[in-house]
Structure 1
């Protein structure tokens, strides 16, 4: 078959990619955090997390999943939160433990959440306290055995985090009452994980990395099975197309789109990790005045 579409490719875009440049997303991540260790990886609410800190925290979280909770390679771990520093820590912790990420829209109704947790077979969930009341209504109807609970300011400095958590809960009243007595705090998980041994799993490109759910607009949401090779191939495609425009180690992307959606997950999170870029996380993009203030503070080079 004649590949007529290649005639439309710009001259500097290759016609073939190599999806096997890395063995897994973990391989890509570990090479990037070593290469760009002291550069900022994520910024949120004025707090900077370097690639080195991301490596250390995600390693601790992976160790806690393995040793503290006894989860195994291939177990499903749900991730339900907006754009916060906790997201990349948990995301790469799950992947580094050899487990499968199940991204969950935090705006889900109890019915939608119950369906996704049961359909995915998630045995654990990492969730921000603002939406814990939704989980409380359905958790007993699922196979979830471990709930890891975080608050908005838990990855900020002690002083700033205390203020943010107080304002979010008591001033803005954004945390409805909930009762999850067996939940583990995200801070405790990291604290304990630092003292536990991380065991790097043997991953092959065909291992599942994500169960990424559709929007459910034409019926119930369906989980797309995305392997490490699937996601790496996507990264190579984007790199092939936009690589000439991007400068490794020098980009700053504004992430207003939620990372739990596949576009921002692939482009903003994974691609800019591979490029050594800085990622400005916007927790509430609907707050337009707040978004504009953030844009004015940073010399960003890309935005979604």
Structure 2
């Protein structure tokens, strides 16, 4: 989409979104589902969930209603952040789940002003990538950000043994199962990557702004 996000912006936006989630009355450890492809709303929502002390439940946006229903029920997700392109899938199953809070993102949300409006128009009206949907009581992603910006964010106290992610398997040998990833597991992975990248940073001249390619969907 030609849009970047700085660490400062990620800190500010995730704090606002985290404050919005906390204001919903979710208790520490509550499961929050994220059903989005690689869009900038994903890292904002993911960091918000973790910083607020909740558990990220990643969901493949291409799931069928049956697959989505299973994962929402199995995880006990109480909230979901979903791209509007897939809202119809949620509509078909939400009544049979524990989901109480729905935040709906649009493709152009993080692109700003005119560009964001044009992208949303093309996605909805020209390419017709957003099937009709109805989720009473839902809140738009940008509205949640705006509301959260006016609230006090309270960074959660989490331990290494608290659950960070419920990462579901592909379900190729049966129903998908949620693998528990603790905060300690995530920190260990960060440490592994830092060690592996030492050689990259040792080259001369040292790269000022190195770029890394993510070959996988962020929800994977």
TM range (shorter): over 0.9
* Other-structure match for 2:16: 60
Alpha-carbon distance in structure 2 between the residues aligned to 1:109 and 1:197:
37
Give deviations 1:32-57, integer Å, cap 9, x for gaps. Answer: xxxxxxxxxxxxx1122111111100
* Other-structure match for 1:279: none
Question: Gaps (5+ residues) in structure 1?
Answer: 1-44, 262-304
Question: Gaps (5+ residues) in structure 2?
Answer: none
* Other-structure match for 2:134: 179
TM-score (norm 2): 0.95
Count of equivalent residues? 216
Map 1:68-217 onto structure 2 (within 5 A): 69-217=24-172
Alpha-carbon distance in structure 2 between the residues aligned to 1:124 and 1:88:
16
Change (3 A) 1:249 1:96: farther
Matched residue SS, 1:148: strand
Alpha-carbon distance in structure 1 between the residues aligned to 2:189 and 2:110:
30
Alpha-carbon distance in structure 2 between the residues aligned to 1:217 and 1:243:
36
1:49 aligns with 2:23: no
Contact 1:136 1:180 in 2 (8 A): yes
Matched residue SS, 1:255: coil
Alpha-carbon distance in structure 2 between the residues aligned to 1:164 and 1:194:
25
Alpha-carbon distance in structure 1 between the residues aligned to 2:198 and 2:57:
29
Matched residue SS, 2:25: coil
* Other-structure match for 1:253: 212
Rg comparison, structure with higher value? 1
Give deviations 1:128-184, integer Å, cap 9, x for gaps. Answer: 000000000000010000110010000112110000000000000000011112111
Aligned Cα root-mean-square deviation (Å)? 1.2
Matched residue SS, 1:245: helix
TM-score (norm 1): 0.69
Matched residue SS, 2:38: coil
Contact 1:47 1:157 in 2 (8 A): no
